[in-house]
Structure 1
Amino acid sequence: MNAKEQSILLVDDEVDFRKRLGKAFARRGYKVYEADGYESALALIRQENPAQAVIDLRMPGKSGLELVAAAARLPEPPAMVVLTGYGSIATATEAIRLGALSYLPKPADVDDIIQAFNHDPQREPEPAAEDFAAPSLARAEWEHINRVLNDCQGNISQAAQRLGLHRRTLQRKLQKYPPKA
């Protein structure tokens, strides 16, 4: 990939999220530009001409949709993915109509974002593999419990509350070995 293909603009008013995402992209070899809103993002797009842009939907001042529309009108617009914690079908449709490649709900990690950029809307989706074995209900429950526990940084009480379980019930479930399949 050339330098243009390896550059990305991150537009988000949440500084910590933007910095974390920026470090993750930098570790993957991207040249990262950061902006906290519409004006600074549009200036960076015009000045640096990044190949890709990840744009937050809700920001102070003008919205991410307005930025997508303005960037799409430029001679060489970046490939854009809209990222938001406040998703709806209407805004997703509008973002795509205005020129975004994809629309992702937060929290999305770097792999999700890269996959969204690599998605070709003109290509037919590949059929699912016939031999895919869905996990058992017990395995799916085990994985969900551990995902929630991880989100709560190992806090059993908080995880139990989020799962709608009594703390002791959750502890008993965690003492069992994970189901095989």
Structure 2
Amino acid sequence: MKILLIDDDAIFRQTLARTLTRRGCVCVEAADSAQALLELQAHLPDACVLDLRMGNESGLQLLPQLLAIKPELNVLMLTGYSSIATTVEAIKRGAVNYLAKPASADDILRALKNASSSPDLEPRSAGQDALSVDRLAWEHIQRVLLEEDGNISSTARRLNMHRRTLQRRLSKRPVSQ
């Protein structure tokens, strides 16, 4: 499998490339959107691991551009800032899967292989992966922030909270359980 790795964190990207290469993959690396589009056209990979936030760039904005060049590209969104809102948005824009960092090379390969084989979805039990109240509040804030295009002031107004309070809440990412 030929994989395009797009991440601005050079150490993470290079380490992941070495690990995936040891598992039999051919890896092509890109640090930003411009380089990613050039590498995609030059190498035509089977899959892509795309970081959500790359400095001032967004993987969500790059995703449709990648798929415009190669519509059958399996894109896995990888991020350290996961939320339900960004997950839904990534899937809407064409990502085949979404993983939160840290994700192992095995997790990444499994997610890409599952996407290409279209597995049957198993229903979850009611208590499995239950979210805490803090996590639910975080998800709601992230959804409203996405709807307001990242504007902190208008998000704070919609949530009826002070802008500084919202900024403090955003800096404290809750654990999932």
Are the structure 2 counterparts of residues 88 and 126 from structure 1 closer, same or farther at C-alpha, using a change threshold of 3 Å? closer
Distance (Å, rounded) in 2 between the aligned partners of 1:122 and 1:21: 24
Q: Which residue of 1 aligns with 2:13?
A: 18
Structure with larger Rg: 1
The 8 Å contact of residues 49 and 76 in structure 1, kept in 2 or not, is answered as no
Deviation beyond 3 Å, 4+ runs, structure 1: 120-123
The aligned amino acid for 2:93 is L
The 8 Å contact of residues 75 and 97 in structure 2, kept in 1 or not, is answered as yes
- The one of 59, 71, 80 equivalent to 2:75 is 80
The 8 Å contact of residues 6 and 48 in structure 2, kept in 1 or not, is answered as yes
Q: Which runs of no fewer than 5 residues in structure 1 stay unpaired?
A: 1-5, 129-181
TM-score (norm 1): 0.63
The 8 Å contact of residues 65 and 95 in structure 1, kept in 2 or not, is answered as yes
Distance (Å, rounded) in 1 between the aligned partners of 2:114 and 2:26: 21
SS of the aligned residue for 2:53 comes to coil
SS of the aligned residue for 1:73 comes to helix
Aligned residue pair count: 123
Q: Which residue of 2 aligns with 1:28?
A: 23
The 8 Å contact of residues 71 and 77 in structure 1, kept in 2 or not, is answered as no
- The one of 32, 41, 58 equivalent to 2:36 is 41
Q: Which residue of 2 aligns with 1:53?
A: 48
Residues 67-90 of structure 1: CA distance to partner in whole angstroms, max 9, x if unpaired?
111111224442100000001111
TM-score (norm 2): 0.64
The 8 Å contact of residues 38 and 61 in structure 1, kept in 2 or not, is answered as no
Q: Which runs of no fewer than 5 residues in structure 2 stay unpaired?
A: 125-177
Residues 49-81 of structure 1: CA distance to partner in whole angstroms, max 9, x if unpaired?
011110000012431111111111224442100
